[in-house]
Structure 1
């Protein structure tokens, strides 16, 4: 058997529009694992917001979070675990410029780190509406370098804030605006994206690049889709992603597009 590494983005790809795993998706991925393939979640989400899906699928593979910046094996020690971080001073600098850029919220995260500072309640579902005392982000609580920083900012000032960060800290971090309705900037260590994690997985399992199948739908999947031997864009993906993908699913993420494509490709039925 030609063993494949199946790298899965979560939102807009493996999850339906209610951010759930459908019965078809769960059954298909379990069949793929039974057939001897490796299934791995490769997401922009933090580990705290991905582990429930990992458990639901009964995975034992490493999981890649924060767009490639964290690779770990939930519930167990993995000797190749890694985490890319950047200087906490960058977070503290932005906290001082909150008024200037009308920043609604700043969150600093890592595998065991979640701190946030908000001026107003944001509508971004990834963050608690109310922060507990031990989740408050400030110069005292932020003791270690973060893996990821997420900033909710007024849309008219988004580009200006992005330029400010790139001009001052561009040698150390990359800044990416989120797709979708929320005006959010995501900051991670320079040069790290999903393909970094997928390549580590491929090396760990001794699976050739041409035997990697990756599924995604957004700009943060570009490098991973490009890296994979079979990079598959979802039917609901951005036009830029479809343009570089090897293939596009016939159905979207709300119609089990990924599962049905995979089932056919691996002859799982």
Structure 2
């Protein structure tokens, strides 16, 4: 028996949900060895590890493989900011929530009007409009990207759109777009920010918190038995839902205000390893 398997009967937290970019992943897009080892030890204790990300499900597979979670039954991923909950085995879809197509068209045209780089996420592809070299470099590890050569998504009407995002390096500019939205439009959307470069649009009620609640209910896990870790405002709902909501040291100030623990380490300093050692392997009461 592995040493940490002896802790199974004493484990305080049954599920750890972690964001990927700027949380679990280092700036180079990899998982550090300390983080990887800590995750393996947490799983040996019986803690379920759930990746909760704004990425598409296809752009999580490499990370799942590195954690030995790919194609595993009874292991799960929350992707598209909660727009999809899937089991890793065969990428079985538990729940998918798309944006109504007329609403998706409105959002897309809003981005076009502001001359923004736009990402349109469907289940199988990430469509990009006005792609830049800087963004291509930032997304160099992503797959399934297809360029939109015209300012239209009419051809995607039969392809459920799960998320749309606009990219801009000025967060205040992205916030100004949200503030200028008609209330009738806002009422149909969940709007979030991530990576200090994206404003993200999902259907109303679609966010990581609700997805985590849905999954936890299916697994019969109480919120008090859950840790959620993140860095940006698309993580706030799962931070609120979890019994232990944690912001990494590099998180935006608004998220730190909501968290009940802030790591001393950044995502480049193995923050998730700190979380696992403090609250799972060597819990401090």
TM-score calculated relative to the size of structure 1: 0.85
1:65-76 aligned at under 5 Å gives the runs 65-76=79-90
Residue of structure 2 in register with 1:259 after alignment: 273
- Structure 1 residue aligned with 2:262, among 237, 248, 252? 248
Would you say how many aligned residue pairs link Structure 1 and Structure 2? Answer: 264
8 Å CA contact 1:226–1:244 kept in 2: the answer is: yes
> SS of the counterpart of 2:98?
coil
* Residue 177 (structure 1) shift: 3.8
* Residue 255 (structure 1) shift: 1.1
- Structure 2 residue aligned with 1:197, among 172, 187, 211? 211
* Residue 69 (structure 1) shift: 1.3
The answer to whether the aligner puts 1:146 opposite 2:158 as a matched pair is no
- Structure 2 residue aligned with 1:9, among 3, 19, 24? 19
- Structure 2 residue aligned with 1:86, among 90, 99, 116? 99
- Structure 2 residue aligned with 1:26, among 36, 53, 65? 36
Larger displacement relative to structure 2 (46-55 or 129-138): 129-138
> SS of the counterpart of 1:144?
coil
8 Å CA contact 2:122–2:159 kept in 1: the answer is: no
Q: What are the Cα deviations for residues 34-72 of structure 1, in whole angstroms up to 9, with x where unaligned?
A: 111111101111212222111110123110011111101
- Structure 2 residue aligned with 1:175, among 180, 183, 191? 191
* Residue 190 (structure 1) shift: 0.7
Residue of structure 2 in register with 1:220 after alignment: 234
Larger relative helix fraction: 2
1:223-234 aligned at under 5 Å gives the runs 223-234=237-248
* Residue 185 (structure 1) shift: 2.2
> SS of the counterpart of 1:76?
helix
Q: CA distance change for structure 1 residues 95 and 256 in 2, over 3 Å: closer, same or farther? A: closer
The answer to whether the aligner puts 1:115 opposite 2:127 as a matched pair is yes
TM-score calculated relative to the size of structure 2: 0.81
- The separation in 1 between residues aligned to 2:66 and 2:53, in whole angstroms, is 16
- The separation in 1 between residues aligned to 2:112 and 2:52, in whole angstroms, is 34
* Residue 123 (structure 1) shift: 2.5
CA root-mean-square deviation: 2.9
| Residue segments in structure 1 that go unaligned for 5+ positions in a row | none
- The separation in 2 between residues aligned to 1:267 and 1:107, in whole angstroms, is 39
* Residue 5 (structure 1) shift: 0.5
* Residue 194 (structure 1) shift: 0.8
- The separation in 1 between residues aligned to 2:207 and 2:58, in whole angstroms, is 19
